[in-house]
Structure 1
Amino acid sequence: MSRAEPMVAEEGRQAAETGVQGGPPEPPLPPPARIRLLTTSVSPRTAWILRAVSILGPVTAWWALSATGMVDPTFLPSPSAVWSAAVDMAGTGDLPSDLLASLGRIGAGFGLAVLISVPVGFAMGTLGWAQPLLEPVIGILRYLPASAFIPLLIIWLGIGEPSKIALLVLGVVFFNTLMTADVVRQVPHRLLEVSATLGASRLRVASRVVLPHALPGIIDAMRVNAAAAWNFVVVAELVAATSGLGYRITRAQRFLQTDRIFAILVVIGLIGLTIDVALRLLRTRVGRWTR
């Protein structure tokens, strides 16, 4: 037998193992049609069309319903009446001042809740003793309605700004803590094992591996709970307030000014959408590796 024959035999054995006969590996088969339907994305143009339909569809239905006169304008003002009310409140300065007051409370309450919940949730996700110590009590407290604490907060802190900010903190901090802990626990164990194998300390693993991997998810949790913060700031301003969008809604309700109420609700929705988009862009920027 010649010297080339063993080499040929070896090549034939390798080809048989890989299922290839003298050629490059075959590309993987495409997924079944039912799976492709679940994962297929639309084009950017189609996505923008769908976004426009999502906004313009309800507005068109609102305009059509108010134009028919089937509903008394006192209960359902037209979009044009709502726009006029918003322009009027902006011209008198009421809307800008109330918006700044609500944004200030959101910034203080939500910011304080994030400063508390992110470190605590991170500890619950990384330290073995922190989860059994903290999760039971936080799990109980998150089921207590934050609005139920309003009488106690007024007794403890008065009717000023501290009680309103405390209500925001109570409404956000427990949910954001548990969501942060869940995100941190989802860091793949193989990354932790590789880091430990390379000799990284626990502090270095937490700061260089766990935190960057969990940061996009932490921002997503903040996006979800920012909406809850807006709900609670309006509730806080409905009680013993002299400024804010919730206070302005209460004043409009006393005089059946539903056009002003709708205008304020639209403003809240637009501000909330702006905050959501900003946090989404931040998540995309810090989590480029997840794309």
Structure 2
Amino acid sequence: MNQAMSAAPALGRQERRPRRRGLAPLEPVSARTRVALGVGFFVLFFVVWAFFTLGGFVSPTFLASPITMAREGWLLFTEFGFLHDIGMTVWRVLGGFVMAAVVAVPLGIAMGAHKGVEAFLEPFVSFCRYLPASAFIPLLILWAGLGELQKLLVIFIGSVFQIILMVAVTVGNARKDLVEAAYTLGASSSGIVRRVLIPGAAPDIAETLRLVLGWAWTYVIVAELIGSASGIGHMITDSQALLNTGQIIFGIIVIGLIGLVSDVLFKAVNRRLFAWSAL
């Protein structure tokens, strides 16, 4: 009798415990479910797009159908050398982004590690990061002409100040107890930066670079819209003049696919390099 009475509250507590549900707040989902949901959204998107365009609800002048977009994309590859345009755009993005990272990461580490450097640079960096990169295009054309350097500099300016500030914040948020422990063990100031701050912030710095790489793609299209003879942005400009919305949409989708692939690769590299950070 007593055992039954004591088991009743326990049973009640078990019944009140929330069950694990796939859509519950912060509840993780399996990798297979994540892929299925992601692919499912793309399928739904194309179904809705096809319904409105093939059903005649939207004029082809304003929005091409998926079938027209695919046909125009095939023509771009087979007759207009679009593969070369893709290669030029990817090269510009990577070139400008690497330039920005090489300059910004050391400056961001210095700002985050040394408050004097932060006080000296932070107002200027905060000021510059609000300036749109596209506003510099007229000056960059005067300084560097219409060649590749001008396009690389647009991406550089659009990325470098964002990376500096985000890296500085990441390094500045290091655990103070680890710094104090390193000092106690006899580490020097430079040793603190090399052995404590940089290793601790490295995973988040890599994540910052991954995010800013996505922003770099928006800058390269702006750079290619003016005074460019190649690239995805150049193709989009020419297609706009011809009212060819199929080619415009195909170019936009190609940019998204390249960005998605680069993002997945960046994540995979980060997980391999900093596997310990997920523990």
Give the TM-score normalised by structure 1: 0.85
Identity of aligned residues (%): 37
1:67 aligned residue: 54
Do the aligned partners of 1:66 and 1:78 also contact (CA within 8 Å) in 2?
A: yes
1:208 aligned residue: 195
- Corresponding residue to 2:91 among 73, 84, 104: 104
Residue identity matched to 1:210: L
Does 1:84 find its partner at 2:71?
yes
SS in 1 for 2:115: coil
Matches within 5 A, 1:151-190: 151-190=138-177
1:85-122 alpha-carbon deviations (Å, 9 max, x no partner):
11111112521110111111112111101111111001
- Corresponding residue to 1:198 among 161, 168, 185: 185
1:283 aligned residue: 270
CA RMSD of aligned residues (A): 2.0
Shift in Å, 1:157:
1.4
1:227 & 1:263 partners in 2: Cα distance?
19
2:256 aligned residue: 269
Do the aligned partners of 1:138 and 1:174 also contact (CA within 8 Å) in 2?
A: yes
Shift in Å, 1:33:
5.5
Residue identity matched to 1:73: P
2:5 aligned residue: none
1:19 aligned residue: none
Which deviates more, 51-60 or 128-137? 51-60
Q: Give structure 1 regions of 4+ aligned residues with deviation exceeding 3 angstroms.
A: 36-39
**Unmatched 5+ residue regions in structure 1?**
1-28
1:45 & 1:224 partners in 2: Cα distance?
24
Between Structure 1 and Structure 2, how many residues are aligned? 261
Does 1:149 find its partner at 2:136?
yes
2:231 & 2:33 partners in 1: Cα distance?
39
Larger radius of gyration: 1
2:115 & 2:158 partners in 1: Cα distance?
27
2:32 aligned residue: 45
Give the TM-score normalised by structure 2: 0.88
1:6 aligned residue: none
Which deviates more, 201-210 or 188-197? 201-210
- Corresponding residue to 1:260 among 238, 241, 247: 247
Residue identity matched to 2:140: L
2:141 & 2:34 partners in 1: Cα distance?
47
2:102 aligned residue: 115
SS in 2 for 1:242: coil
2:41 & 2:199 partners in 1: Cα distance?
34
Shift in Å, 1:65:
1.4
- Corresponding residue to 1:238 among 210, 222, 225: 225
2:101 & 2:184 partners in 1: Cα distance?
33
- Corresponding residue to 1:251 among 216, 238, 253: 238
Say if 1:186 and 1:38 are closer, same or farther in 2 by CA, change over 3 A: farther
- Corresponding residue to 1:131 among 106, 115, 118: 118
Residue identity matched to 2:247: R
Do the aligned partners of 1:215 and 1:286 also contact (CA within 8 Å) in 2?
A: no
Residue identity matched to 2:233: G
SS in 2 for 1:174: helix
1:85 & 1:260 partners in 2: Cα distance?
6
Which deviates more, 244-253 or 197-206? 197-206
1:160 & 1:43 partners in 2: Cα distance?
47
